[in-house]
Structure formats: structure tokens, C-alpha cells
Amino acid sequence: MMEKRPGIFNDVIGPIMRGPSSSHTAASWRAAKICMDILNEPLKKAIIDFDKDGAWASNYREQGASLGIEGGLLGLEITDDRMKNTEVVANELGISIHYEINSFKTNHVNTFRLSLEGINGKNTQAVAISIGGGSFEIQNIDGFEVNICGDFYELFLFNSSKEMTLEEIQAILPQSKSIVESFNSDRRLINIKFSNEVFDETIEKLRSAVSFDELIITKPVLPIVAGNESELPFTSVASLLEFAEKEDLDLGALGLIYEQCQSGLENSAVIDRMKNLISIIENSIKTGLEGTTYEDRILPQQSHLINKAKKGNKILQKSIINQIIANVSAIMESKSAMEVVVANPTAGSCGVVGGVLRAVADDIDATHEELIRAYFATGIIGAYFAMGPGFSAEEHGCQVECGASAGMAAAGIVQLFGGTARQGVDAASMAIQNMIGLVCDPIADRVEAPCLGKNVSAAVNALSSATMSCAGYNALIPLNEVLKTVSSVSSQMPTCVKCTGKGGLATTNTACSIKEKLALKNTIVTV
């Protein structure tokens, strides 16, 4: 799905969000937020519908799509504590938000349609898809085909005159990054993308040159605005390794170069952004270990049990795995309690990278600067994963969530060990190889179990793979071939084990019983 070059901050490490799911909660929040810009007046009523054959029809509430949509429509920041109670906020504001399961033409399993009515009577309908890890695309607005991914300032001219060509418009707006048109019957829509905020003088230029019925501006929702990219000194995994050996660079340095070229930001600004992300990740460990609660979840707090068992001499006393399990559990518990976390590369797999890198960094007394470089090493592996299969479990299963995070984390550990770029890439290859074919079968449609166990397994797998690579083990299959294999295997996996709740552990008697109990509990609470 992803054709453009992905960024580490836009597509891999992030978004900063509240749980439970990046593909459900963060992507839907982003799309809904932009749809409110398109509506361009306060919201009165919204009808959200899902295709009956899509992946979200059965779990949009449980996995947080409804929370994300409501938060975006209500103008809440995704880190706002009120995201935990969006229905209450909507009721207080007198806004009606209703959900339906219908049948309509889609081209992606994660499709949702928003029909919005403003307080002044304006109606807008948009069709959007979630493509994994918080990435999304609005594909249609009021019958017009569009491509809105939240990484540009966008200007829309509805029902503009056909007398002026796109080339003529481009001439009066040389700062624009692209201008495209679409048609709906005899109506014309011109969509103009900018990398900078659209000021009044630009609007006045258009008003004096082009006739149109309505002008709408949307703001970017991704952290890095597109259009400032520069050419990379490497274009593939093979050329990356060649460049690394020629310039004597490790994988962390390559990750930093990659994001500098992708974002257009200065070196210091890129590092500062990564520092901020790491601080949020590590705070989620702290929050989880201190204890979290949330009504609508399956598992109780468990991250503290590792230290308790260690003190009671019930487990190994000197194993780094103890701390890995505790850290990963803490992050996952923070996510499941709707606390602020960083999707890395998804919310469902957010415990892996942060949990294992913190444990390894503590074990070897790594500096904070070394940890930052390790995160850049994870980021560039994630970028190549995004260029390949991407991070949508609904398309590929958990092999692109915990599998991707295992590969990313393995590369980061090699960086902490002082290994070479080639060793980091080989470690990523090994780790991902070990998780090809991993299914996504969340119990009771919550992103908790077996997600926790898979996150822990991915983290330990990452440490093992990094250790083997640095010791000289042969990865055998190059990373690029491994990523192609992930995509091919996903086509052989049945849909029922791709985050639908219709296969795997989700269909066991115990899982079904848990789901029934949670449904009854929520019904009682609602009434």
C-alpha cells in the first residue's frame, strides 16, 4: 500500500497515542480530525459505517476505532485524558455519533466511512482506510477521489471552473508540491498540497484567478510535513550496507542520515525528536510498573510480579530476561490502560523495542546517547519493513507487528553492543525469520492476549538474534528477501487469523467465555 518513502517519525516510531491499537485508534483519530477540517463547521451529527465483510465490523469498539473516531471528531488531542471517555464528552456537547454495519464497495479490509452533518446544515461524506501503525489514507470526499495521508497542508477547491488548467494554477502557486483534479459527474475538485501553512495571500491569489464554490484547507496530522525530502545516499538494503562499509558508519548513524533526508530537519532537531519519543516510552515503563487499572481489559497488572518472584527466589536471579519481561509487560499494561504510549511500530507491539532496549542498556551501562543511536538503528530497519509489507495485521497477521518489532529491536541491540551495520541488518533478518507466519488472534478483541506473550517472545527473540549476529552466526537469508517472504506468506494465511477475532486462540472456549463476560459487563455499565 505504501508507495512513498516512509519516515522513521511518521511511519515507524510513532504516533504518540493512547491505546489500545494504532491501526484502529490512531489512524481513525487522524482521519476523523482531517474530516472535521473538511466539514469546516462545528459537528452536529455523525454516522460512521463499516463494511460487513471488513475487518473492523466486529471489533471497532473493542479495539478502539470508535474511541479514535470520536476523539478526532470532538477535537480532542489523542493524548488527552478525555480520550478514555469520548462518549461522555460527545453527550455533554450534544453531538450524536452513531455506528452502522452496512455493505459498500471497498478496496481495503480496514475501510470506514464518515457521514458528517454540521450545525449549519453542511453535509460531508468521506471514505478512509487504515494501513497499519497509525498510517491512513482518505480516499474519497463527497464522491471525489482524493489521496490524503495527513502529511501535507491541503487546499481543496470544490466545483471549480474548468476554464483554468492545472498548469495555469501551478504557475500562480509555485510553492505548491502537487496539484491534482478529480471529477464527480459534472463537478470538479482541485486538490493542492503544500509543505507550509497556507496563508491569506495564497488564498487571495486563487480567489482572483479561479472561480469555485467552496475552498477548504486541512492541516497535517503527522509529526513531519512532507515535501522537504532530499535524496538518500542509499536506496536499498544492499546499497545501505555498501555505503556503511565505505563510510565506516554503524546502523544508528545511517538511521539518523535517513531521517535527516526524509524530514529535511537539522541533525539536532532530529535527535531532539527521538529524545522526546524515548522519554515517553520510558515513562510508559515507569507508569506500568507503578500499577495501572482500566475497567475494560482482560489481564490485571502483572509487571510487578517478576521482581516479586525474584525476591522470593522463585526464578533466575541474574537473568536479563527478568527485566525484559517486566519492561515489556509494563509498556503493554500502560497501553491497555489507555495511558500515553508510543506505537513502535504499532501499539499492539509497542512493548518490544522499548522494553528490551531499556533492559540491555541498563545491563551494559550504555549512555543515553548510545541508546538514542540504538533507536535510530531500529528506525531504519522499520523503514525498510514499511517499504515492504507494512504494519497492518489485518493484511499480514502479527508477523508485521511483533515480527517487525523483533527485527527492529535486534538491530538496536546490535547497535548497543557496538556491532557493525551488517551485523545489525543480519540480526534483524534472523529475528524476522523466526516470526514469519505469526498469526494475529486477539482474545475477546482486546489487544492484550496473546499479544503480551508475543511481545515478550519477540523481545527475547531480538536479544537472541542480536547475540548470534554479533557472535558471527550466519543469517543466511538477506533482509530484503525475508521482507518479500513476509508479504508472500501473508497471502497464504487465512483471513480468520488476521486480527478478525474469528480464528486461532480467539475462538477457544475460554476466549469465547471471556468475550461474553466482558460484553455483559459493558452492557450493565452502559445501562
**pLDDT for res 520:** 85
CATH topology of domain 17-218: 60s Ribosomal Protein L30; Chain: A; (3.30.1330)
Whole-model pTM above 0.85? yes
Radius of gyration over alpha carbons of the chain, in Å?
23
**pLDDT for res 523:** 60
**pLDDT for res 488:** 98
Count each helix (H run) and each strand (E run) in the chain, helices first: 18, 12
pLDDT higher than 80, residue 86: yes
User: pLDDT averaged over the chain?
Assistant: 95
What's the CA gap between 169 and 173, in Å, rounded? 6
The SS3 assignment for 247 reads helix
Q: Average pLDDT in the 503-516 region?
A: 97
**pLDDT for res 3:** 58
Q: How far is CA 525 from CA 16, 518, 521, in A?
A: 29, 10, 6
What's the CA gap between 66 and 78, in Å, rounded? 13
What's CA 386's distance to the chain center, in Å? Answer: 11
The SS3 assignment for 259 reads helix
The answer to whether 434 and 485 are in contact (CB under 8 A) is no
pLDDT higher than 90, residue 447: yes
Kindly give, in sequence order, each residue whose CB lies less than 8 Å from that of residue 173, ignoring residues fewer than 6 positions away: 179, 192, 202, 205, 206
The answer to whether 125 and 34 are in contact (CB under 8 A) is no
The answer to whether 192 and 178 are in contact (CB under 8 A) is yes
Q: What are 31-42's pLDDT values in tens digits?
A: 999 999 999 999
The answer to whether 79 and 17 are in contact (CB under 8 A) is yes
Percent of the chain with pLDDT over 90: 93
What's CA 379's distance to the chain center, in Å? Answer: 13
Give the cell for residue 284.
510508559
pLDDT higher than 50, residue 1: no
Give the cell for residue 463.
536479544
Q: Average pLDDT in the 150-166 region?
A: 91
What's the CA gap between 284 and 305, in Å, rounded? 17
The answer to whether 234 and 246 are in contact (CB under 8 A) is no
The answer to whether 144 and 186 are in contact (CB under 8 A) is no
Percent of the chain with pLDDT over 70: 98
pLDDT higher than 60, residue 526: no
Q: What are 247-272's pLDDT values in tens digits?
A: 999 999 999 999 999 999 999 999 99
pLDDT higher than 60, residue 110: yes
The region of weakest confidence among 51-65, 161-175, 224-238, 319-333 is 161-175
Q: What are 113-123's pLDDT values in tens digits?
A: 999 999 999 99
Q: What are 59-76's pLDDT values in tens digits?
A: 999 999 999 999 999 999
Q: Average pLDDT in the 90-97 region?
A: 97
The answer to whether 379 and 353 are in contact (CB under 8 A) is no
Pairing type for strands 96-102 and 43-51 reads: parallel
pLDDT higher than 70, residue 525: no
The region of weakest confidence among 166-180, 350-364, 408-422 is 166-180
Q: Quick one: pLDDT band at residue 444, thresholds 50, 70, 90? A: very high
Q: What are 8-17's pLDDT values in tens digits?
A: 999 999 999 9
Kindly give, in sequence order, each residue whose CB lies less than 8 Å from that of residue 77, ignoring residues fewer than 6 positions away: none
Q: Which residues pair with 192 in a beta bridge?
A: 155, 179
What's the CA gap between 47 and 467, in Å, rounded? 52
Which helix (DSSP H) or strand (DSSP E) does residue 126 occupy? strand 123-132
Q: What are 448-499's pLDDT values in tens digits?
A: 999 999 999 999 999 999 999 999 999 999 999 999 999 999 999 999 999 9
**DSSP H helical segments within 312-443, as ranges?**
320-336, 351-363, 368-387, 393-396, 402-417, 421-433
